[in-house]
Structure 1
Amino acid sequence: MSSAPRLPYRPFHRPFLFYGARGALAAILAALSFGTAFAQGWPARPITLVVPFPAAGGTDLVIRSIQPLLQKELGQPVVIDNRSGAGGTIGSTFVARATPDGYTAGVVTTITHAVSVSVYPKLAYDPASDFAYAGFIGTSPYVLAVNRSLQAKDVKGLVEKLKAAGGQPTFGSVGVGTVSHLMGEQFSKLANVPMIHVPYRGAAPAYTDLMGGQVQLMFDNPVGLAPYVKAQKITAIATTAPTPLLADVPTFARQGIANFEQQLWYGVAFPKGTPPAIVSRFNAALNKVLSQRDVARDLATKGVTAHPGTPAEMQATVNKDIPYWGAIARSVGATVE
């Protein structure tokens, strides 16, 4: 970057600069004072919480688990607004463009705010800079599930059977550019077995073909896969982190496989420019709710581990995960027009 040109020395400009700087400082202080005063009366009316996925889906069920207690803590209704489509980017765009007054927030996930920026070339928001992150809700691991005909019991055995079978095995996902897709690509590299990716429009058709043998394996969250595993219709080989829904399934780490610990996270974000005092107030209410044992137990039944945290931690996670998933998406050419 070239340096700025040196301005001529004009001593008579100093008083102007001094008073100009003082005036600017006064304006900043006044703005901060106004923001604090505004936040003290917040919330004075219902808060809209945009869920960028369909009603009754996994993300929707997670936020509805905490909605009643969250609105009790805030003293105002928390109205859930499902704005689904385009992998969660439609609802997230709505939040990014909303008035930053503390009355519109959105549920954010690894998919919408870490993966999306790399797989949607025309994404209308910047996850790293267009939001004021308010904190985590929880995390959910991924499960590697396989068709039972493979008769594999662990990751090592699965890799051996895939190599011995010859040909090119297939893996399913819940859509191009999803974490389910990218983790399948990662596993293909880990196993050193070229695989064909078969994307589906959601989990249900992918599960059907996994059970039927049209695809040999797939990654997804435990809440969706667990019922089929327990019914012995598919086999869970490994998880990226422990989950009570599949307590008997060992993690990749326990099977001696490092650097395979990715999880899906859920959080809440306001539009950029929302007063920090409002974000802090929401974060305190959210963390208080997540710290309750009943809430933690309820989330666990959905395959989610409650994760109280700070806005700074949420922002740091987004900043870290964008290049991580971006590198994987670019390596396999995962883009959605």
Structure 2
Amino acid sequence: MKIAAIILATLLGAVTLPAAQAQQQDATSGKPLSLVVPFSPGGPTDAMARSIVNELKDILGQTVLVDNRAGAGGNIGADYVARAVPDGQTLLFGTSGPLAINASLYKKISYDPLRSFTPIINLGYLPNVLLVHPSIPAKNVQELVNYSKANPGKLTYASSGNGASSHLAGVMFNKLAGTDLQHIPYKGTGPALNDLVGGHVSAAFTDVLTALPFIKSGKLRVLGVTTTVPSRALPDVPTVASQGVSGFDVSVFFGIVAPAGTPPDVVAKLNRAFATALKRPELAKTLAQQGLEMPSSTDPDNLRTFMASEIVRWKDVVKSSGAQLD
């Protein structure tokens, strides 16, 4: 009888051990977690993603890789994630473009920002700033508005391309301030700011992270922050809205989403991991230096609600801009 008990225990142990291993294997799926950044390496989105990934590896006990899949304003990377297996192993580091603006900007996209994805967490937003070349005789937003109205058609603003947030920010500014800044599109933020530094254009709306070196060096003058509250990275710079352009609020938000159909327990696990990472002092410090402002809530539903409101808000701005991409 003892022999039979030993045999039974051995058999149970043989069953239990693989089951435990299978459970662990299911948690990590035996492969690296892929965080898809729908833009090229080197930009602010890529920089933030890589900072967060370093913490996630430790929290999840799993290899996490950044996978840059650039093109079509973020649509290529977004489509790739939308079509991925919904097992929590392929995530999108989404931004305002693919998760809100592109739904109106492009004639046709192969995914739906709300239906194709399962929200994981709202990471926060990156304010833009209004920059001018030092030759422009305006030390604040109201002076820029007055100068523009006194010199109709003279001032120009650079953007990283038609339909980009840096373009649409100018559309919104013109509408609310009654100005007529002329839009000059470029192929990327780098060329746009290079021409602004060279004095070939008058102004630009760009993210605070990219703008900081130019502001600190004195090559460009910052007139205001485009969000309704000041930026932690530029606490002494007033908002555009507080300088007479009521209602002006432009930023780039960041959110992690998974393919639609991702199981709730997987969503909960990933949400906890990202929320834990954001609270770690070193990462929090790094993200603050990069200009990121924290969200009001890290609950997945917060991201879904915010995305829905942003889709509606940007639809009107895109319509006003006349921009439409294939």
2:47 paired residue number: 61
The amino acid that maps onto 2:175 is K
- Quote the offset at 1:62 in angstroms: 0.3
- Quote the offset at 1:195 in angstroms: 2.7
| d(CA) in 2 for partners of 1:75, 1:217 | 46
- Quote the offset at 1:244 in angstroms: 3.3
1:43 paired residue number: 28
2:110 paired residue number: 124
2:236 paired residue number: 248
- Quote the offset at 1:55 in angstroms: 1.3
- Quote the offset at 1:257 in angstroms: 3.5
TM value normalised by structure 2: 0.88
The answer as to 2:211 corresponding to 1:225 is yes
1:324 paired residue number: 313
The amino acid that maps onto 1:304 is L
Deviates most, 191-200 or 105-114: 191-200
Contact 1:296 1:306 in 2 (8 A): no
What are the superposed Cα offsets for residues 248-297 of structure 1, whole Å, 9 maximum, x if unpaired? 21112432443222221111110001101101110011001101222111
The amino acid that maps onto 2:230 is P
Q: 1:74 aligns with which of 47, 57, 60?
A: 60
Change (3 A) 1:40 1:327: farther
SS, match of residue 227 in structure 1: helix
Contact 1:44 1:76 in 2 (8 A): no
Structure 1 gaps of 5+ residues are 1-36
Contact 2:55 2:283 in 1 (8 A): no
1:6 paired residue number: none
Contact 1:145 1:235 in 2 (8 A): yes
The amino acid that maps onto 1:43 is T
| d(CA) in 2 for partners of 1:84, 1:75 | 28
| d(CA) in 2 for partners of 1:306, 1:297 | 12
1:174 paired residue number: 160
Identity, % of aligned positions: 39
- Quote the offset at 1:303 in angstroms: 1.3
The answer as to 2:232 corresponding to 1:235 is no
- Quote the offset at 1:43 in angstroms: 2.3
| d(CA) in 2 for partners of 1:91, 1:167 | 38
| d(CA) in 1 for partners of 2:23, 2:64 | 19
The amino acid that maps onto 2:78 is S
Change (3 A) 1:102 1:229: same
- Aligned pair count? 301
The answer as to 2:255 corresponding to 1:270 is no
2:84 paired residue number: 98
CA RMSD of aligned residues (A): 1.8
- Quote the offset at 1:57 in angstroms: 1.5
Contact 2:158 2:196 in 1 (8 A): yes
Contact 2:140 2:223 in 1 (8 A): yes
Structure 2 gaps of 5+ residues are 1-21
Change (3 A) 1:81 1:160: same
Change (3 A) 1:202 1:299: same
TM value normalised by structure 1: 0.85
The amino acid that maps onto 1:101 is D
| d(CA) in 2 for partners of 1:134, 1:81 | 18
